[in-house]
Structures are given as structure tokens and as C-alpha cells.
């Protein structure tokens, strides 16, 4: 199967859909994604609809309605799930992945699997994924896997970049700019990057490598992977600065990545498996950690292979759990 390249690929247009229940649900999913704060945010009137814990929109990160290449697009997600996820060490469905972002990026509660909002999200994502064959490899997915400097990131240098290139929109205090007033559920013109209304420390955006790449390819607003504004050093340091600031804490992060050997090196919370310091998992340098992790994975593979060889030689013993 040839890979599908999202760069330059036309995005399915809702306008092309005929009137009817399918189009209505796709529209609802689009609205939930771009105006999450107004429909399931912490300030909406009906208390039972307050699933999200912050006033971000899904599209604060999944830019352009979830269609921008290398801004963690949703195009093709329906073709790549269910998939193995290290964070759970299990196969996750699209619904479970959405709830991963609900509990972390949105610092909230999971949507019930049968909720109309869940149905709308999955339908919108499936619509965006039209034409991508199930199981296809997708180019333009996630964030561009660009290299990062092999050194400790410098939050102080990053604060200088922040003042020069980010504060005008996200605010000197990182709190973003609201559309209206606190409590009105109208969200942000420019979202907060830290503080109580931001993503929590269990979110993918709290990982320095992921977010350096996201920011490098997508910020300041208007940047893209073919039109970057920051260089590698600026992106790495400004991300370190942003992630050094306080944000909501997620409980029970020690339960993430239960198969410790595949815990990402930039997951900056304990337990740390590679004998490195908390500071190195937070700020790098990462290539030495990645090297240690590769060795750990290779050892595991060898152990597994040896185990298999043993049980082949002594099938009765293996069955007894020897
Ligand atoms: C603060 C930024 C942020 C917000 C807000 C956010 N997400 Fe995410 N999302 C991410 C990141 C980062 C990843 C990739 C994490 C990883 O796997 O390393 C991701 C991954 C996903 C994926 C899987 C994409 C793939 O290619 O596998 C889906 C689906 C998703 N998010 C849905 C949502 C939905 C629905 C919302 C709103 C309810 C939302 N996200 C809000 C940052 C965010
Ligand atoms: C011109 C205004 C503008 C500038 C300058 C800008 N951003 Fe953003 N940023 C946005 C907007 C708007 C969004 C929401 C996504 C969208 O609407 O496409 C966003 C989203 C983000 C997000 C993900 C959402 C969140 O709340 O966490 C991060 C991280 C981010 N910006 C970091 C930065 C950094 C770092 C800089 C400086 C290098 C920067 N931005 C400069 C406007 C800006």
C-alpha cells in the first residue's frame, strides 16, 4: 500500500456533503473541535456538560480544524486506529484516544463512549479521514520528526525568545487573551500556554521533544513546516521555557507507560527507568537517553527470544510457568 501524503492533499470539505443527518453530525463535530470551550468547557451553563477542565479548543493544537499537516492532524486517524499505545500498553480505539486528550490536553473528564459529543467527534474525524485506506502509512501525521540540539535546553535563553516572538499573542504572563470575560465560556483569541487554564503535565504537549517540533513547525501563528520562523535552538529553548512554567497536575502519572521500556525519554515524570536525572528527562540532552532506551529495548528483545527458545526446548515446563 503506498503511503498517503497529507501535504498538498485536498481536505474533505463539509460544504460538499448533502443536507441530512450525516452532514449535521459532521458539522457538530467540527463545532465541538473549534469551540470546545463553548460546548463542553468548564464555564458552560449545564454542569453535566462540563467535561473539559480548561477553555482551550481541540483546534488550539490540532490546527485548521484538525487538517494541518504536522500540526497533529486528524486526517487519516480513522485509518490508523485501533493501534498500540505505549502510554496504556494496550490497543486503543479512536474514542479512547480522544479521551486521552480530554483528560490531559483539556485537563478534564472522559466523555462517555455513548455520549452524542463522542459520536460527533468520531464522525468528524472519520469524515476528515475519507479516502485514506485503513492501515496506510501517513506522511504529514503528528509532528515533523526533526532533529533537536544535543544539549540541555536553556529555559533562560527561551524566555528571551518568548518575549520577542510569543508574548504579543500569548501574553507576557502566558495566560493568553480571552475573547470576552472569565466565566462567559467564549474561550480565547490566543490560548494560554501555562497556568491553571492550560493543558496538564500528563499531556503530550508537556513533552519537550514533541512540543519543540510542534512549535518549530507551527508557531508563531502562520508558520508551517515549509515556512518556519524559529530555528532549532530557538524552538528548543522557548519550549523549555514554556514547559518550565506551572500548569495543572494530573494524578497517577506513575501508571502511564506500564511497560517501562517504551516510556518516551521526554516524559518528565517518575518513575525514570534509564538511571538519568529528572532534570535530564525534562530538559535533555535527549540523544544519550534515546541511546540508553534503545539498549534497554534490545535487551528485552533478546530476553524474549531466549525465553521463547527455552519454552520450545521444554514446552511442558513453559506451560507450568517455569
Ligand atoms: C494542548 C494541545 C492539545 C489539545 C488542546 C488537544 N490535543 Fe489531541 N493531541 C495533542 C498531542 C500533542 C497529540 C499527540 C500526542 C502523542 O501521541 O505524542 C494529540 C493526539 C490526538 C489524537 C491522535 C492523533 C494521531 O495522529 O494519532 C486525537 C484523535 C486527538 N488528539 C483528539 C483530540 C480532541 C478530540 C481534542 C479536543 C477534545 C484534543 N485532541 C485536544 C495535543 C492536543
Ligand atoms: C500571532 C499570534 C501568535 C504568536 C505570535 C504565537 N502564537 Fe502560539 N498560538 C496562536 C494561536 C491563535 C493558537 C491556537 C491555534 C490556532 O488558532 O491555529 C496558538 C497555539 C499555540 C500552542 C498550542 C495551544 C496551547 O494553548 O498550548 C502553543 C504551544 C503555542 N501556540 C506556542 C507558541 C510559542 C512558543 C510562540 C512563540 C514562538 C507562539 N506560540 C507565538 C497565536 C500565536
Ordered mean pLDDT values, 10 residues apiece, the chain (322 residues): 96 98 98 98 98 98 98 98 97 98 98 98 98 98 96 98 98 98 98 98 98 98 97 98 98 95 95 93 97 93 88 58 38
Burial string for 63-80 (b: 16+ CB within 10 Å, else e) reads bebbbbbbbbbbbbbbbb
58 lines ligand 1 (CB under 6 A): yes
Ligand 2 neighbours by CB, cut-off 6 Å: 56, 60-61, 63, 165-166, 168-170, 190-193, 199, 205, 215, 219-221, 230, 238, 242
For ligand 1, atom 10, which residue shows the shortest CA distance? 204
The dihedral built from the CA positions of residue 215, 216, 221 and 225, taken in this order, carries a sign that is: negative
Report the pLDDT value the prediction gives residue 310, as an integer from 0 to 100.
80
Report the pLDDT value the prediction gives residue 315, as an integer from 0 to 100.
60
Q: CA-to-CA distance for 138 and 72, rounded, in angstroms?
A: 12
Report the pLDDT value the prediction gives residue 318, as an integer from 0 to 100.
45
Report the pLDDT value the prediction gives residue 80, as an integer from 0 to 100.
98
Measured from the CA of 214, which atom of ligand 1 is nearest? 12
For a ligand 1 pocket test, name from 54, 57, 72, 242 the mutation site with the most ligand atoms within 8 angstroms of its C-beta: 72
Name the phi and psi angles at 84, rounded to 5. -70, 135
Report the pLDDT value the prediction gives residue 317, as an integer from 0 to 100.
45
Relative to the alpha carbon of 60, which ligand is closest? 2
Whose cell is 480571552? That residue is: 178
For a ligand 2 pocket test, name from 66, 166, 222 the mutation site with the most ligand atoms within 8 angstroms of its C-beta: 166
For ligand 1, atom 36, which residue shows the shortest CA distance? 58
For a ligand 2 pocket test, name from 193, 212, 230, 235 the mutation site with the most ligand atoms within 8 angstroms of its C-beta: 193
Relative to the alpha carbon of 256, which ligand is closest? 1
End-to-end alpha carbon distance in the chain: 42
Amino acid at each position: 500500500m503506498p503511503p498517503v501524503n497529507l501535504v498538498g492533499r485536498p481536505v474533505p470539505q463539509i460544504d460538499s456533503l448533502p443536507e441530512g443527518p450525516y452532514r449535521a453530525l459532521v458539522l457538530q463535530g467540527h463545532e465541538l473541535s473549534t469551540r470546545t470551550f463553548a460546548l463542553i468547557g468548564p464555564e458552560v451553563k449545564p454542569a453535566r456538560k462540563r467535561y473539559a477542565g480548561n477553555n482551550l479548543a481541540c483546534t488550539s493544537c490540532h490546527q485548521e480544524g484538525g487538517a494541518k499537516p504536522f500540526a497533529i492532524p486528524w486526517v487519516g486517524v480513522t485509518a490508523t486506529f485501533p493501534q498500540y499505545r505505549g502510554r496504556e500498553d494496550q490497543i486503543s480505539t479512536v474514542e479512547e484516544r480522544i479521551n486521552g486528550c480530554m483528560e490531559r490536553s483539556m485537563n478534564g473528564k472522559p466523555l462517555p463512549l455513548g455520549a452524542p459529543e463522542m459520536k460527533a467527534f468520531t464522525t468528524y474525524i472519520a469524515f476528515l479521514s475519507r479516502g485514506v485506506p485503513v492501515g496506510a502509512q501517513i506522511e504529514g501525521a503528528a509532528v515533523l520528526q526533526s532533529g533537536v540540539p544535543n544539549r540541555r535546553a536553556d529555559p533562560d535563553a527561551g524566555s528571551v525568545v518568548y518575549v520577542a516572538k510569543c508574548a504579543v499573542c500569548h501574553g507576557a504572563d502566558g495566560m493568553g487573551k480571552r475573547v470576552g470575560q472569565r466565566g462567559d465560556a467564549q474561550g480565547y483569541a490566543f490560548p494560554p500556554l501555562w497556568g491553571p487554564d492550560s493543558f496538564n503535565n500528563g499531556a503530550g504537549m508537556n513533552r519537550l521533544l514533541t512540543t519543540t517540533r510542534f512549535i518549530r513547525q507551527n508557531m508563531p501563528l502562520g508558520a508551517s513546516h515549509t515556512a518556519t520562523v524559529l530555528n532549532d535552538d530557538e524552538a528548543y529553548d522557548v519550549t523549555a521555557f514554556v514547559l518550565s512554567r506551572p500548569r495543572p497536575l494530573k494524578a497517577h502519572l506513575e501508571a502511564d507507560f506500564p511497560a517501562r521500556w517504551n516510556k518516551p525519554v521526554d516524559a518528565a515524570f517518575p518513575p525514570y527507568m534509564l538511571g538519568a536525572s529528572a532534570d535530564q528527562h525534562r530538559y535533555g540532552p535527549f540523544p544519550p537517553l534515546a541511546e540508553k532506551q534503545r539498549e534497554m529495548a534490545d535487551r528485552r528483545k533478546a530476553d524474549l527470544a531466549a525465553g521463547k527458545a527455552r519454552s520450545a526446548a521444554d514446552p511442558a515446563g513453559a506451560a507450568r510457568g517455569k
